[in-house]
Amino acid sequence: MLDYLIIGQGIAGSLLAYNLIQKGQHVCIIDDANPNSSSRVAGGLINPITGKRLQKTWLADRLFPFAHNYYTTLEKDLGTSFFHPKPVVRIFADARQANDWSAKCADDELQAYLNSEYKFPHVPSFNIPSGYTVFKQGAVLDCATMLESFSDYFSSRGCLIKKEVDYSGLKTDGPVSFESVAANNIIFCEGWKGKHNPWFGWLPFVPSKGDVLTLRIKNLNMKEIVSRGIFIRPLYDDLYRVGSTYIWDDQTESPTQKGFDELYGKLQALLKTPFEVVEHKVGICPTVRDRRPFLGRHPEFKNMLIFNGLGTKGGLLAPWFTSHLCDSLTGAGTLLPEVNIERFAEKFYGR
């Protein structure tokens, strides 16, 4: 009998399974290997200051150092490179945003993230009418590469099954079982498809579809992440990833002309150098009404748990919240109320 059956090998399920294995737990993961899953399509940006109002990310002072440490250690453990710290060049939308920022950036709490001395070497290739600023502690997480390494790691331990879980095939009276796999607990990490989970679908998922493009920009040789309504980040050679859109009324995992046009238009406004689009992909983010993750046990079925709702910031949130969930499972801590799904139980589940 296993300790945990985990459904979904995106970033949430992978990190959780890995941490539980490190703690000596017996785990099996089942994943349908969907190439369009959010984690496989994600832009991979880890950015400390975001949004139109340039706000510090929620829990940044705790999450950033943790994520940097976690991924660099994980790279060594898995023997692959997928985490790349990089300066984030934030181009101001207009003079007003630049002025607001120059007043705000004196705040003590922002100092750890400012890189005021940094000179962006690619100014001539971009439209930058109102200036820019540069942040520290940003990074690119090549999530698809990390998941491939995890897949090899789990497969070599015989604890990854690649198939879709049909919920009607899950037996939940007593220990949980699916086909020949039985476990004391099940943890659902299905990303946005958790919306259709018969036990957790009552949680307020608000999935958002996002488009990403891969560009070829010859001889730009840019090492930084650029952010200006969209992001541009280096991949390798002359290739760059650009994203993303936020589409709330379409939950199909196929690219649309509308999404393409939106990104392409923004790129034309931002870039002064020629570019060529070589790929267009979409994924759907597990976004949540209050923009806080979903962690915890089902209010009624105590051997059923969820780790989901990482929204548009899975790369940053996953390491710390995986550890947080593991601590609660081993009795080493209790869940923060703002991420515990108990916050919705009364309103949406009636308990």
Residues that bind ligand FAD (CB under 6 A): 7-13, 30-32, 34, 37-39, 41-45, 164-165, 189-191, 193, 210, 212, 243-244, 283-286, 308, 310-316
Is 217:273 a contact under the CB 8 Å cutoff? yes
> Cα separation of 185 and 200, whole Å?
15
Minimum CB separation of residue 109 from ligand FAD in Å reads 21
Tokens of 280: 């267009």
> Cα separation of 253 and 13, whole Å?
20
> Residue 90's beta-bridge partner residues?
133, 227
> Cα separation of 304 and 174, whole Å?
11
Q: Which is nearer to ligand FAD, 100 or 253 (CB)?
A: 253
Q: Which is nearer to ligand FAD, 291 or 351 (CB)?
A: 291
Task: Give buried/exposed letters for 315-350 (b at 16+ CB in 10 A, else e).
Answer: bbbbbbbbbbbbebbeeeeebeeebbbebbbeeebe
Half-sphere CA count of 209, side-chain side, radius 13 A = 17
Minimum CB separation of residue 129 from ligand FAD in Å reads 25
Minimum CB separation of residue 350 from ligand FAD in Å reads 25
Minimum CB separation of residue 306 from ligand FAD in Å reads 10
Q: Which is nearer to ligand FAD, 39 or 177 (CB)?
A: 39
Tokens of 279: 């790929």
Q: Which is nearer to ligand FAD, 88 or 316 (CB)?
A: 316
Minimum CB separation of residue 106 from ligand FAD in Å reads 28
Is 31:160 a contact under the CB 8 Å cutoff? yes
Q: Which is nearer to ligand FAD, 63 or 110 (CB)?
A: 63
Minimum CB separation of residue 299 from ligand FAD in Å reads 21
> Cα separation of 305 and 194, whole Å?
12
Q: Which is nearer to ligand FAD, 107 or 181 (CB)?
A: 181
Cα 128 from chain centroid (whole Å): 28
> Cα separation of 242 and 280, whole Å?
10
Minimum CB separation of residue 285 from ligand FAD in Å reads 4
CB burial of residue 23 (10 Å; 0-12, 13-18, 19+): middle
Minimum CB separation of residue 214 from ligand FAD in Å reads 12
> Cα separation of 313 and 144, whole Å?
15
Is 340:327 a contact under the CB 8 Å cutoff? no
Q: Which is nearer to ligand FAD, 248 or 346 (CB)?
A: 248
Segments of 41-108 assigned E as strands = 45-46, 49-50, 55-56, 83-85, 88-91
Q: Which is nearer to ligand FAD, 33 or 95 (CB)?
A: 33
